[in-house]
Structure formats: structure tokens, C-alpha cells
Amino acid sequence: MATTPAPITLPALPWPDNALDPVISANTISFHYGKHHKTYVDNLNKLIPGTEYADMPLEKIVTATAGKADKAGIFNNAAQIWNHTFFWACLTPGGGKPKGELMRAIDRDLGGLDKFKEKFAHDGVAQFGSGWVWLVAYDDDRIGIEKTPDAVTPMAEGKRCLLTIDVWEHAYYLDYQNRRPDFLTAVTGKLLNWDFAMQNFLRSG
């Protein structure tokens, strides 16, 4: 008897498990992606059958449930799937540098690349407990840094997310123990995918 495929799937990583060594180890990726990210997918697939969200794309589920206390379970799992998928795309071996219009925006709004790196890492450290730090673009193409708790994502508020770093403990504890500042400094300095950020910056809001 044929079975209905799960509506939400775990997307493939954009690189091999060991591609981000030594900044993020294959061991961390195995647990973070293979356990945590997968669990959010499994949980959401248990929560949405028979609901109005069953046939919605993931991003629509996130925006439709954001801020609704009675839909918190669906939102938390859907947003964490979206956040993690976005996070993996924000990372690339060897990193790179921003250029063109995005570099000009960083100079204009954030005081240059070095100040961006300092503030991005600082704000990620300052996020109390679990959460995320984001580089976002607003409707007027200004850019800024925001931090969000738990599964909250600026995408649900209609902002363009350019980059993010996960600051939940499971993102760094196997490699850095409680040294979140070291993790954020290393990822910000060595792994950010600026080509992906530029694609997000240039797309219409």
C-alpha cells in the first residue's frame, strides 16, 4: 500500500560534514544537522497533518503561525527548520569577503567590515540563552544586525535575512564548550558565505 510522502523534508547540506573543519567539526555537524535539525523536521511532520498548514510551504507555515500562542509548537519547529536551512547556506569553507552594493551598505550602515564583524560577534554573545544573530536588510535597503531568542526569525516580520549564526549551545558546545565568543568570532571571520548574503541583499523585498 502506497504511503503519502512527508510534506516537509530535511534538505541536504550544501557541503560535506567535514568541510568546515577546524572551525566547526564534522562531529558537531553530525549532531547539529543529523539530530537537532532532523528532529524539528520529524516533529513538524507529526504536528501539521489534518491542519490548515498541511499543504503549505515551510516559509508560509512560519509566517502564518508567528506570534500565535496556540500555534507555538508548529511555529517553533517550522521556524527552526527554516532557520537551520538558512544557517547552513550562510556558511562556506574559506568564507570570503562582501563586495559591490553589499560592501557599500556595510560601510554606510555598519561602519565597515571590521566593525560589522565585531558587532555581529558581540550581539551573538549578548543574546541571552538560545537564539540567533542576524544580518538583515530593510525595505529601504538599509542593513542592520538583530538578535532573536529561541526560534524567532526576522523573516516572519517581512525582513530580508542576509546572514545568520546559530547561538544555541548545540551549535558550538562539542567544539568550544561554553566559549560562545570564540565560536562567533571564528565563524564570523572565517566561514560566512558573502555570495549568499549578496543574493539575499539584491532580491526584492
Give me the mean pLDDT over the 168-184 stretch: 97
List of E strands, the chain: 131-137, 143-149, 160-166
- State the pLDDT at residue 4: 55
CB 173 within 8 A of CB 182: no
The alpha carbon dihedral of 193, 197, 198, 203 has a sign of positive
Residue 147 has pLDDT above 70, yes or no: yes
Q: What is the pTM of this model?
A: 0.95
pLDDT tens-digit series, residues 43-58 = 999 999 999 999 999 9
Q: What is the DSSP letter of 160?
A: E
pLDDT tens-digit series, residues 80-119 = 999 999 999 999 999 999 999 999 999 999 999 999 999 9
Q: HSE-up of 135 (CA within 13 Å, CB side)? A: 30
Question: Where do we find the cell 528532529?
Answer: 39
Per-residue three-class SS string for 59-85: HHHHHHHCCCHHHHHHHHHHHHHHHHH
Domains delineated in the chain:
26-89 (1.10.287.990), 100-202 (3.55.40.20)
* Residues forming beta bridges with residue 146, ordered by sequence position: 134
- State the pLDDT at residue 205: 45
**Grid cell of 183 as nine digits:** 565560536
- Please report, rounded to a whole number, the percentage of residues in the chain having pLDDT higher than 90: 93
